[in-house]
Structure 1
Amino acid sequence: MRNKIRMIAYDAILIAIIILFTFVDYLGYINLGVISFTTIHIIVLIGASLFGYKRGMIYGFIFGLSSLLKALSYPGTANYFFINPFVSILPRVLFGFLAGLTFDLFKKYFSQKTFNILVAPASGVLTFIHTLLTMLCLYLFGILDPFKISAALGLTPLIENGEIMTTLISFISIGSVCEIIAAALLTGGIYLIISKNFKIGLVSEGNFKRKNIETNKNVEKPNSMDN
């Protein structure tokens, strides 16, 4: 019972941070011209690294829902495209699930020391996957169209000059690289601080040792048969 209450408290804290980041300017969403980029994925990564794929999906859903609400509140920018829940919510839920699943697998097969090292680079890779998922959803649901984008953002002159795709790719590339670097630098450090001080999200050494024993047995079986 105490663990459930504690878990609810952790959920409430992370969800509150996501909401705070969403609606405080230049905290969760950073505008670069007419395009905005996010730091909220870092909170999802931290939650997923601590609590696994189920909580990762929840935090991803809240991330997507907050993105949808942000788009409805400020539809005049690139947020306009995230009014579609299949663009704002779906990729974020998938992102949270994949992040949690990745960290769960790491905890199953690696020691705590190795896991601590892997959190940072894994967060960078997962952030890149988040970008790909978002772009894929934009494409699948018919929004990733240069003419629609230029009209919505007031960039029609770029279409006439044939520069719209170059401009968009440049913006997205710069933002994506910044998001990846931020995730790699911050997620690992914050995970270490929280896990060490609050003793949560740690690798279960019992499961790790059991997995090593099973692996060693599988390796020894062929040798015994050869003898």
Structure 2
Amino acid sequence: MTPHKEDYLKVIVELGGTNELVNNKQIGKALSVSPASVTEMSSKLLKEGYISHIPYQGVQITEKGLLIANKLIRKHRLWEVFLADKLGFDWTEVHEEAELLEHVSSDFLIDRLDAYLGFPKYDPHGGVIPDKDGRIEESASQPMTELSVGRRFVIKEVDDDDQEFLAYLLEKNVKLGVPYLLTAIEDYEGPYTFIAQNQESFQISYKAAGKIFVQ
């Protein structure tokens, strides 16, 4: 399995390809490659049984492909934990470094890294870390936009694809694992206002709330 193929499988999973069809345009945009390149790689992955395909609609990951993708995601997320917890990187900095490290790490090294880190369950953005067999637990979290005023919640995960969004949350000091109370939602997709237990108040945009997953 080449790093290039691994990247394709991983991005299909990240785009929701475990439960729905993902089209070439979505894949090309995510990987910054041409439609022709996506078509060529999809043909290879289809022949090898890593994806399924419905003409003119898109592709979906197979169980075989999902295990490969999740093992790569495991490597990526464990490196993110190491960079954040051991080297002091903030959550806007870990993604690009982990992208480089994930492809040059053997399974043996990753197993040792996992043990060294104390077998973490989540990455710095709250993403669930797959186990060594490529299996991953389903998350029970929901988008913050599904909450109503008066609900208490804890942020479990944030979308890590947008570095500007992560910087936005970092600047506002919004954190994972902290109890909050939603106090107001302004009409017409206005901002969400919430408070922490120490009465510190926070306000974020509707768009940002859609990228935050809570319990």
TM-score, normalised via structure 1 length: 0.30
- The structure with the largest strand share of the pair is 2
TM-score, normalised via structure 2 length: 0.31
- The structure with the largest helix share of the pair is 1
Highest RCO, 1 vs 2 (Cα 8 Å, sep ≥ 6):
1
